[in-house]
Amino acid sequence: MTRTGKRLLTTREMSTIAVLAAVASVLFVLEFSVVPGVPFYKMDFSNLPVLLGTFAMGPLAGTLILGVKSLVGLLHTTSQGVGELADFLIGLAMVLPAGFFYRHFKSRRGAVIGMTIGAVLASITGVLLNVYLLIPFFSALFHLPVEDIVSMGKGLIPSINSLWQFVLYITGPFNLLKWVAISVVGTLMYKPLSPLLHGAVGRRTARRAEQANK
Protein backbone atom coordinates (compact mmCIF):
# COMPACT_ATOMS: atom_id res chain seq x y z
CA MET A 1 0.00 0.00 0.00
CA THR A 2 1.04 3.64 -0.47
CA ARG A 3 1.46 6.21 2.29
CA THR A 4 -2.10 7.41 1.72
CA GLY A 5 -3.40 3.91 2.30
CA LYS A 6 -4.34 3.37 -1.33
CA ARG A 7 -3.35 0.06 -2.83
CA LEU A 8 -0.91 0.07 -5.71
CA LEU A 9 -3.01 -2.66 -7.34
CA THR A 10 -6.65 -3.51 -6.77
CA THR A 11 -7.90 -7.04 -6.18
CA ARG A 12 -9.30 -7.11 -9.71
CA GLU A 13 -5.98 -6.00 -11.15
CA MET A 14 -4.10 -8.65 -9.19
CA SER A 15 -6.51 -11.27 -10.51
CA THR A 16 -6.01 -10.02 -14.07
CA ILE A 17 -2.23 -10.10 -13.56
CA ALA A 18 -2.46 -13.73 -12.43
CA VAL A 19 -4.50 -14.70 -15.51
CA LEU A 20 -2.20 -12.88 -17.92
CA ALA A 21 0.88 -14.40 -16.24
CA ALA A 22 -0.64 -17.86 -16.67
CA VAL A 23 -1.33 -17.22 -20.36
CA ALA A 24 2.19 -15.84 -20.83
CA SER A 25 3.68 -18.91 -19.13
CA VAL A 26 1.86 -21.21 -21.55
CA LEU A 27 2.93 -19.14 -24.56
CA PHE A 28 6.51 -19.24 -23.27
CA VAL A 29 6.57 -22.98 -23.96
CA LEU A 30 5.26 -22.55 -27.51
CA GLU A 31 8.51 -21.28 -28.99
CA PHE A 32 9.96 -21.96 -32.41
CA SER A 33 13.28 -21.36 -34.14
CA VAL A 34 13.52 -18.52 -36.63
CA VAL A 35 17.29 -18.21 -37.02
CA PRO A 36 18.71 -21.18 -38.98
CA GLY A 37 21.88 -22.55 -37.43
CA VAL A 38 21.45 -20.63 -34.15
CA PRO A 39 19.19 -22.86 -32.04
CA PHE A 40 19.07 -20.70 -28.89
CA TYR A 41 17.34 -17.78 -30.65
CA LYS A 42 13.69 -18.77 -30.60
CA MET A 43 10.52 -16.83 -31.26
CA ASP A 44 7.55 -16.85 -28.92
CA PHE A 45 4.63 -14.55 -28.09
CA SER A 46 4.79 -14.92 -24.32
CA ASN A 47 5.47 -11.19 -23.92
CA LEU A 48 2.20 -10.33 -25.66
CA PRO A 49 0.15 -10.70 -22.42
CA VAL A 50 2.90 -8.73 -20.66
CA LEU A 51 2.50 -5.84 -23.11
CA LEU A 52 -1.31 -5.94 -22.93
CA GLY A 53 -1.21 -5.93 -19.15
CA THR A 54 1.23 -3.04 -19.16
CA PHE A 55 -1.06 -0.89 -21.30
CA ALA A 56 -4.14 -1.83 -19.30
CA MET A 57 -2.74 -1.52 -15.76
CA GLY A 58 0.62 0.20 -15.97
CA PRO A 59 4.35 -0.66 -15.88
CA LEU A 60 4.18 -2.23 -12.40
CA ALA A 61 1.59 -4.75 -13.54
CA GLY A 62 3.60 -5.50 -16.69
CA THR A 63 6.73 -6.07 -14.62
CA LEU A 64 4.88 -8.47 -12.32
CA ILE A 65 3.46 -10.45 -15.24
CA LEU A 66 6.91 -10.63 -16.82
CA GLY A 67 8.52 -11.68 -13.55
CA VAL A 68 6.02 -14.45 -12.83
CA LYS A 69 6.34 -15.75 -16.38
CA SER A 70 10.12 -15.86 -16.13
CA LEU A 71 10.01 -17.63 -12.76
CA VAL A 72 7.59 -20.24 -14.08
CA GLY A 73 9.86 -20.65 -17.08
CA LEU A 74 12.65 -21.79 -14.76
CA LEU A 75 10.61 -24.92 -14.05
CA HIS A 76 11.07 -26.17 -17.61
CA THR A 77 14.21 -24.32 -18.67
CA THR A 78 16.54 -25.93 -21.17
CA SER A 79 19.20 -23.23 -20.79
CA GLN A 80 19.81 -23.40 -17.02
CA GLY A 81 17.98 -20.09 -16.64
CA VAL A 82 20.02 -18.13 -19.20
CA GLY A 83 17.07 -17.79 -21.58
CA GLU A 84 14.72 -16.78 -18.78
CA LEU A 85 17.17 -14.14 -17.52
CA ALA A 86 17.54 -12.75 -21.02
CA ASP A 87 13.79 -12.72 -21.55
CA PHE A 88 13.19 -10.84 -18.28
CA LEU A 89 15.87 -8.19 -18.74
CA ILE A 90 15.14 -7.53 -22.40
CA GLY A 91 11.41 -7.64 -21.68
CA LEU A 92 11.82 -4.89 -19.06
CA ALA A 93 13.64 -2.76 -21.62
CA MET A 94 10.53 -3.02 -23.80
CA VAL A 95 7.56 -2.79 -21.44
CA LEU A 96 8.83 -0.08 -19.07
CA PRO A 97 9.40 2.68 -21.66
CA ALA A 98 6.32 1.59 -23.64
CA GLY A 99 4.20 1.56 -20.48
CA PHE A 100 5.40 4.91 -19.11
CA PHE A 101 4.99 6.61 -22.49
CA TYR A 102 1.47 5.25 -22.94
CA ARG A 103 0.56 6.30 -19.40
CA HIS A 104 1.22 9.95 -20.35
CA PHE A 105 -0.14 9.77 -23.91
CA LYS A 106 -3.14 7.45 -23.82
CA SER A 107 -4.02 7.12 -27.48
CA ARG A 108 -3.38 4.71 -30.31
CA ARG A 109 -0.60 6.99 -31.51
CA GLY A 110 0.87 7.08 -28.01
CA ALA A 111 0.82 3.28 -27.84
CA VAL A 112 2.52 2.94 -31.23
CA ILE A 113 5.22 5.47 -30.32
CA GLY A 114 5.71 3.81 -26.93
CA MET A 115 6.09 0.38 -28.50
CA THR A 116 8.48 1.76 -31.12
CA ILE A 117 10.69 3.29 -28.42
CA GLY A 118 10.49 0.09 -26.41
CA ALA A 119 11.33 -2.15 -29.36
CA VAL A 120 14.43 -0.09 -30.19
CA LEU A 121 15.60 0.03 -26.57
CA ALA A 122 14.96 -3.71 -26.13
CA SER A 123 17.00 -4.46 -29.25
CA ILE A 124 19.89 -2.30 -28.03
CA THR A 125 19.67 -3.86 -24.58
CA GLY A 126 19.68 -7.32 -26.14
CA VAL A 127 22.88 -6.53 -28.04
CA LEU A 128 24.70 -5.22 -24.96
CA LEU A 129 23.50 -8.02 -22.68
CA ASN A 130 24.49 -10.70 -25.18
CA VAL A 131 27.99 -9.29 -25.58
CA TYR A 132 28.79 -8.64 -21.94
CA LEU A 133 26.63 -11.12 -20.01
CA LEU A 134 24.43 -13.66 -21.73
CA ILE A 135 26.69 -15.22 -24.37
CA PRO A 136 29.75 -15.33 -22.03
CA PHE A 137 27.53 -16.85 -19.31
CA PHE A 138 26.04 -19.35 -21.77
CA SER A 139 29.52 -20.19 -23.04
CA ALA A 140 30.89 -20.86 -19.55
CA LEU A 141 27.82 -22.77 -18.40
CA PHE A 142 27.77 -25.18 -21.33
CA HIS A 143 31.54 -25.24 -21.92
CA LEU A 144 30.95 -23.94 -25.43
CA PRO A 145 33.68 -21.55 -26.65
CA VAL A 146 32.46 -18.14 -27.73
CA GLU A 147 34.24 -18.74 -31.04
CA ASP A 148 31.98 -21.73 -31.69
CA ILE A 149 28.91 -19.60 -31.03
CA VAL A 150 30.20 -16.94 -33.42
CA SER A 151 30.80 -19.61 -36.06
CA MET A 152 27.09 -20.49 -35.92
CA GLY A 153 26.39 -17.15 -37.55
CA LYS A 154 28.72 -17.81 -40.44
CA GLY A 155 26.16 -20.09 -42.01
CA LEU A 156 23.90 -17.06 -42.44
CA ILE A 157 26.46 -14.30 -42.87
CA PRO A 158 29.92 -15.58 -43.85
CA SER A 159 31.56 -12.24 -43.02
CA ILE A 160 30.86 -12.61 -39.29
CA ASN A 161 34.20 -12.94 -37.50
CA SER A 162 33.62 -11.55 -34.00
CA LEU A 163 31.11 -11.59 -31.17
CA TRP A 164 30.17 -7.97 -31.83
CA GLN A 165 29.43 -8.76 -35.47
CA PHE A 166 27.38 -11.77 -34.40
CA VAL A 167 25.14 -9.76 -32.09
CA LEU A 168 24.87 -6.77 -34.42
CA TYR A 169 24.00 -8.82 -37.50
CA ILE A 170 21.92 -11.57 -35.88
CA THR A 171 20.93 -10.83 -32.26
CA GLY A 172 19.88 -7.22 -32.85
CA PRO A 173 17.68 -7.89 -35.91
CA PHE A 174 16.21 -10.98 -34.23
CA ASN A 175 15.12 -9.01 -31.16
CA LEU A 176 13.79 -6.16 -33.30
CA LEU A 177 11.76 -8.60 -35.42
CA LYS A 178 10.41 -10.27 -32.29
CA TRP A 179 9.25 -7.05 -30.68
CA VAL A 180 7.81 -5.62 -33.87
CA ALA A 181 5.74 -8.80 -34.31
CA ILE A 182 4.53 -8.65 -30.70
CA SER A 183 3.74 -4.94 -31.05
CA VAL A 184 1.71 -5.45 -34.23
CA VAL A 185 -0.33 -8.28 -32.71
CA GLY A 186 -0.72 -6.29 -29.48
CA THR A 187 -2.03 -3.29 -31.39
CA LEU A 188 -4.63 -5.46 -33.12
CA MET A 189 -5.71 -7.23 -29.92
CA TYR A 190 -5.69 -4.46 -27.31
CA LYS A 191 -8.89 -2.65 -28.25
CA PRO A 192 -11.07 -5.80 -28.54
CA LEU A 193 -9.68 -7.11 -25.23
CA SER A 194 -9.69 -3.74 -23.46
CA PRO A 195 -13.09 -4.26 -21.73
CA LEU A 196 -11.87 -7.52 -20.22
CA LEU A 197 -8.47 -6.13 -19.27
CA HIS A 198 -10.04 -3.12 -17.56
CA GLY A 199 -12.76 -5.12 -15.87
CA ALA A 200 -15.59 -3.39 -17.72
CA VAL A 201 -17.44 -6.67 -18.17
CA GLY A 202 -17.24 -7.37 -14.48
CA ARG A 203 -18.46 -3.87 -13.58
CA ARG A 204 -21.41 -4.13 -15.98
CA THR A 205 -22.36 -7.47 -14.46
CA ALA A 206 -22.17 -6.00 -10.96
CA ARG A 207 -24.33 -3.01 -11.95
CA ARG A 208 -26.95 -5.30 -13.50
CA ALA A 209 -27.04 -7.41 -10.37
CA GLU A 210 -27.40 -4.28 -8.24
CA GLN A 211 -30.23 -2.98 -10.39
CA ALA A 212 -31.99 -6.36 -10.29
CA ASN A 213 -31.94 -6.30 -6.49
CA LYS A 214 -33.50 -2.86 -6.23
As a whole number, the mean pLDDT across the chain is 83
Distances (CA, A) of 84 to 68, 96, 112, 163, 187: 11, 18, 26, 21, 25
Model confidence at 106, pLDDT cuts 50, 70, 90, reads confident
pLDDT interval class at 203 (50, 70, 90): very low
**Span 134-187, pLDDT tens digits:** 888 888 888 889 998 888 888 888 899 999 999 999 989 988 999 999 999 988
With a cut of 50, say whether residue 202 has pLDDT above it.
no
Write down the pTM of the prediction: 0.80
**Structural domains of the chain ordered from first start:** 11-32+45-206 (1.10.1760.20)
